[in-house]
């Protein structure tokens, strides 16, 4: 039997450890908990590390040292199942001596006496709440949020260091940012050896393992988080500002996650019915076009309907399905059958194919129903599904505590999960219906503040296009102005369909759509669409040169001979965060063209995301005196919850802060002469506050 590493089991020794740690400017933190959210999990271990020292504190860990591992043993039926258990008897009713093999569970020594969570947290509070000692960890916000419930819901203050975000700033293209994956990749551990080298005890639940096994695992987490920081910190150099900025919005994000968004389940049946109606309407439309009903989840039938390749397929009533007979643009690598992925369907949608558009609508609605409806016990295993998976009970309404990730996108936008609020379509009926579930709660009001056309305003500022700047400075409608020059009519003569085409072209500048998309939206020929686009760029003359400049500058900093080692990149204002795009040097047209679109998009979208995050950083501490708090940041909007009697003041504050974001490098308005315009409204639920 192996001995456990040294563990801190009594208050006297923990006080000595705290005194030693307080001599340092940085401490590595890692905790182990039961498998629930930071709001509801239970503390099981606290690990703290300083250079050369690791301190491991078990907190009511239920198992001692391993005495015997899980094993198979041979025995007789009657010994395993003593009479009168029928499993241990022969058909004649006598004890059976037949030999069987059974699995014996692991056996553990009793755990040692340990401190309780409240006592441990009280003793380590001088470390956690020091404004001098930096708290370092891999996704350290989870640890700090989990501990905050032991401090009357107060989250420990900065400074912080997060090796996950540090790694993302240095390389935004990792498939996984787990500490185990990053560590094994860094030390080139073969895939088949990784589970032994760095076992996933945290994911499996540390309560299921022996005391010594967990202690070694926790020490390993501390060690590799610290080594990751030591290796990556010197590499920041000119990216230091980008990393420091991400850490500066950490308090706002942690507070937002911990607060949670109240949910009114009384409305969920009505919302479910609305979604079901929408889904069925889309299905009926598809079935009418294809000649019979069938499940839209069946890939082989969607493939036949789109391409008509292979044997004809039949619907539920044995009628042959009508195919669109479209040309195949993408095949699976192995079977070489046509793909019907979202990207493929979007490509056909852009050419005006209605069936592709309906398939996409159905997928969107099904995704929303799966994420935001569900049942408290509707899964095959009897576990909650849909939004019920994420609900946390409170004294009033249940809440969801979405995780907002700073490493989930490549441009710097926040992403979300559990549930993914970013999934909600902006301004669409289905999204508005689901937003009715998210409420302020009794005595509170929701305030939704949404930036108007922030990405186009960033494009105008970055390109210095005089006509675009003029539109924004005069408070005109940029989409109406675009349509007026495309159709060569006065702005007041622009119809709604024409304005929609102007909007499509404006965003084509950022996202790369071309004449094909304009032709589809405008119901016109490609030749006519080319004329429209030419009219647009003859009006906004600096947009094309600016895009070319972005691409030239990106390529100039890369190494064409070795783009993996030194890729071209776009620097995202105002902190210089990078979007690396090695495919800008790709010899084939398609990948190179996609990288060009990503380059322009990253510069604009990343800049807009940084403006929103700057507003969050400024707004968060100013909400506290009003008893208000941010609940979500989705797309270009911020959702705030305020006491009803302070709602007007908080609304005015939110609008003032968001529209007044300053350039952190030079001072003054961040977009200079381009005003930031914010639409702000309030209501009892998210849909009403958005005016939807």
Same domain, 81 and 168: no
Read off the pLDDT of residues 369-398 as tens digits, 9 standing for 90 and up.
989 998 887 666 778 888 998 988 877 889
- Final residue of a domain: which of 213, 235, 257? 235
> How far is Cα 347 from Cα 352, in angstroms, rounded to an integer?
9
Does residue 165 contact residue 407 with C-beta atoms inside 8 Å? yes
Q: What is the CATH number of the domain that holds 147?
A: 3.30.420.10
Q: Is pLDDT at 106 greater than 60 in this prediction? A: yes
Q: Is pLDDT at 188 greater than 70 in this prediction? A: yes
pLDDT at 395: 74
Task: Identify which has the larger pLDDT, 626 or 97.
Answer: 626
Same domain, 152 and 218: yes
Which residues span the domain enclosing 583?
Answer: 456-594
At residue 46, the 3 state secondary structure works out as strand
Q: What is the CATH number of the domain that holds 379?
A: 1.20.1060.10
Same domain, 354 and 473: no
Mean pLDDT, rounded, for 452-475: 96
Read off the pLDDT of residues 223-254 as tens digits, 9 standing for 90 and up.
999 999 999 999 999 999 999 999 999 999 99
Write out the two tokens for 392.
């946390």
Residue 692: pLDDT band (50, 70, 90) is low
Same domain, 154 and 41: yes
pLDDT at 462: 97
Residue 343: pLDDT band (50, 70, 90) is confident
- Final residue of a domain: which of 594, 618, 634? 594
Q: How large a percentage of the chain has pLDDT more than 70? A: 99
> Does residue 33 sit within a domain?
yes
> Does residue 424 sit within a domain?
no
pLDDT at 524: 86
> Does residue 448 sit within a domain?
no
Q: Is pLDDT at 210 greater than 50 in this prediction? A: yes
Burial 492-526 (b: 16+ CB within 10 A, else e): eebeeebbebbbbbbbbbbbbbebebbbbbbeeee
- Final residue of a domain: which of 341, 369, 390? 390
Number of domains observed in the structure of the chain? 4
pLDDT at 1: 45
> Does residue 78 sit within a domain?
yes
Same domain, 97 and 185: no
Q: Which of 136-150, 493-507, 607-621 has the least mean pLDDT?
A: 493-507
Same domain, 270 and 295: yes
Same domain, 165 and 312: no
Q: What is the CATH number of the domain that holds 471?
A: 1.10.150.20
Residue 427: pLDDT band (50, 70, 90) is low
> Does residue 425 sit within a domain?
no
CA distances from 312 to 126, 306, 308, 322, 632 (A): 72, 12, 7, 9, 48
Does residue 541 contact residue 530 with C-beta atoms inside 8 Å? no
CA distances from 360 to 342, 449, 628 (A): 7, 29, 38
Read off the pLDDT of residues 32-87 as tens digits, 9 standing for 90 and up.
999 778 888 999 999 999 999 999 999 999 999 999 999 999 998 888 888 888 88
Mean pLDDT, rounded, for 671-688: 95
Strands (E), 134-293: 134-137, 160-162, 261-262
Same domain, 362 and 290: yes
Same domain, 152 and 211: yes
Read off the pLDDT of residues 465-518 as tens digits, 9 standing for 90 and up.
999 999 999 999 999 999 999 999 999 999 999 999 999 999 888 887 778 888
Same domain, 381 and 487: no
Same domain, 165 and 291: no
Does residue 247 contact residue 407 with C-beta atoms inside 8 Å? no
> Does residue 16 sit within a domain?
yes
Write out the two tokens for 241.
């500002």
pLDDT at 428: 66
Residue 3: pLDDT band (50, 70, 90) is low
At residue 148, the 3 state secondary structure works out as helix
Burial class (CB in 10 A: 0-12, 13-18, 19+), 188: exposed
Read off the pLDDT of residues 580-602 as tens digits, 9 standing for 90 and up.
999 999 999 889 999 999 999 99
Whether the upstream peptide bond of residue 586 has omega within 30° of 0, thus cis, is no
Q: Which of 179-193, 400-414, 428-442 has the least mean pLDDT?
A: 428-442
pLDDT at 223: 96
Q: How large a percentage of the chain has pLDDT more than 90? A: 77
Mean pLDDT, rounded, for 12-31: 97
Q: Is pLDDT at 267 greater than 70 in this prediction? A: yes
The pTM of the full predicted model, rounded to 2 decimals, is: 0.92
Q: Is pLDDT at 121 greater than 80 in this prediction? A: yes
Mean pLDDT, rounded, for 332-357: 86
Q: Which residues have C-beta within 8 Å of that of residue 72, sequence separation ≥ 6?
A: 101, 102, 103, 104
> Does residue 127 sit within a domain?
yes
Same domain, 497 and 544: yes
What is the overall mean pLDDT for the chain? 93
> Does residue 357 sit within a domain?
yes
């Amino acid at each position: 039997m192996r001995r456990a590493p040294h563990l801190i089991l009594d208050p006297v020794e923990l006080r000595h450890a705290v005194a030693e740690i307080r001599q340092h400017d940085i401490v590595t933190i890692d905790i182990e908990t039961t498998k629930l959210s930071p709001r509801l999990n239970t503390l099981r271990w606290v690990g703290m590390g300083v250079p050369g020292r690791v301190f491991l504190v078990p907190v009511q860990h239920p198992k001692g040292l391993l005495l015997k591992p899980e094993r198979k043993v041979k025995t007789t039926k009657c010994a395993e199942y003593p009479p009168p258990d029928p499993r241990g008897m022969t058909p004649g009713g006598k004890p059976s001596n037949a030999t069987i093999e059974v699995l014996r569970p692991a056996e553990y020594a009793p755990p040692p006496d340990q401190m309780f969570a409240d006592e441990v947290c009280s003793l380590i509070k001088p470390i956690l709440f020091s404004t001098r000692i930096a708290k370092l960890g891999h996704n350290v916000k989870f640890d700090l949020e989990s501990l905050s419930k032991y401090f009357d819901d107060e989250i420990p203050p900065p400074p912080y260091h997060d090796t996950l975000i540090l790694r993302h700033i240095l390389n935004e293209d990792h498939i996984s940012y787990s500490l185990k994956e990053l560590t094994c990749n860094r030390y080139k551990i073969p895939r088949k050896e990784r589970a032994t080298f760095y076992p996933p005890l945290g994911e499996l639940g540390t309560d299921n393992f022996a005391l010594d096994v967990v202690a070694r695992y926790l020490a390993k987490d501390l060690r590799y988080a610290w080594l990751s920081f030591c290796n990556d910190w010197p590499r920041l150099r000119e990216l230091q500002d980008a990393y420091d900025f991400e850490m500066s919005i950490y308090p706002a994000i942690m507070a937002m996650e911990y607060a949670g968004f109240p949910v009114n389940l009384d409305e969920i049946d009505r919302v479910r019915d609305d979604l079901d109606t929408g889904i069925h309407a889309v299905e009926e439309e598809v079935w009418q076009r294809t000649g019979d009903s069938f499940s839209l989840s069946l890939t082989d039938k969607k493939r036949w309907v789109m391409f008509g390749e292979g044997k004809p397929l039949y619907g539920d009533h044995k009628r042959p399905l009508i195919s669109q007979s479209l040309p195949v643009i993408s095949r699976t690598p192995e079977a070489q059958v046509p793909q019907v992925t979202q990207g493929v369907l979007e490509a056909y949608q852009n050419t005006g194919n209605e069936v592709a558009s309906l398939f996409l609508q159905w997928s969107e609605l099904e995704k929303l129903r799966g994420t935001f409806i569900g049942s408290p016990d509707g899964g095959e295993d009897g576990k909650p599904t849909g939004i019920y998976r994420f609900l946390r009970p409170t004294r009033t309404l249940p809440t969801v505590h979405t995780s907002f990730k700073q490493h989930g996108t490549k441009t710097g936008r926040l992403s979300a999960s559990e549930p993914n609020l970013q999934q909600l379509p902006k301004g669409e009926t289905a999204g508005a219906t689901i937003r009715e579930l998210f409420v302020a709660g009794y005595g509170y009001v929701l305030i939704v503040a949404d930036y108007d056309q922030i990405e186009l305003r960033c494009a105008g500022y970055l390109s210095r296009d005089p006509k675009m700047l003029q539109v924004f400075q005069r408070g005109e409608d940029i989409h109406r102005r675009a349509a007026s020059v495309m159709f060569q009519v006065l702005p007041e003569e622009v119809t709604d369909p024409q304005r929609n085409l102007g909007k499509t072209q404006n965003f084509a500048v950022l996202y790369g759509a071309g004449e094909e998309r304009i032709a589809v939206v405008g119901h016109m020929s490609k030749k006519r669409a080319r004329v429209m686009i030419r009219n647009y760029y003859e009006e906004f003359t600096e947009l094309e040169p600016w895009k070319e400049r972005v691409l030239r500058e990106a390529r100039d900093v890369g190494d064409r001979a070795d783009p993996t080692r030194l890729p071209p990149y776009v620097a995202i204002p105002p902190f210089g965060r990078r979007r690396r795009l090695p495919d800008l040097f790709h010899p084939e047209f398609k990948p190179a063209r996609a990288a060009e679109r990503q380059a322009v998009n990253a510069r604009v979208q990343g800049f807009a995301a940084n403006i929103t995050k700057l507003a969050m950083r400024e707004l968060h501490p100013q909400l506290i005196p009003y008893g208000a708090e941010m609940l979500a940041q989705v797309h270009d909007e911020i959702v705030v919850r305020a006491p009803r009697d302070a709602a007007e003041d908080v609304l005015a504050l939110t609008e003032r802060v968001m529209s007044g974001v300053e350039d952190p490098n030079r001072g003054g308005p961040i977009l200079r002469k381009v005003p930031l315009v914010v639409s702000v409204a309030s209501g009892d639920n998210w849909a009403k506050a958005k005016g939807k």
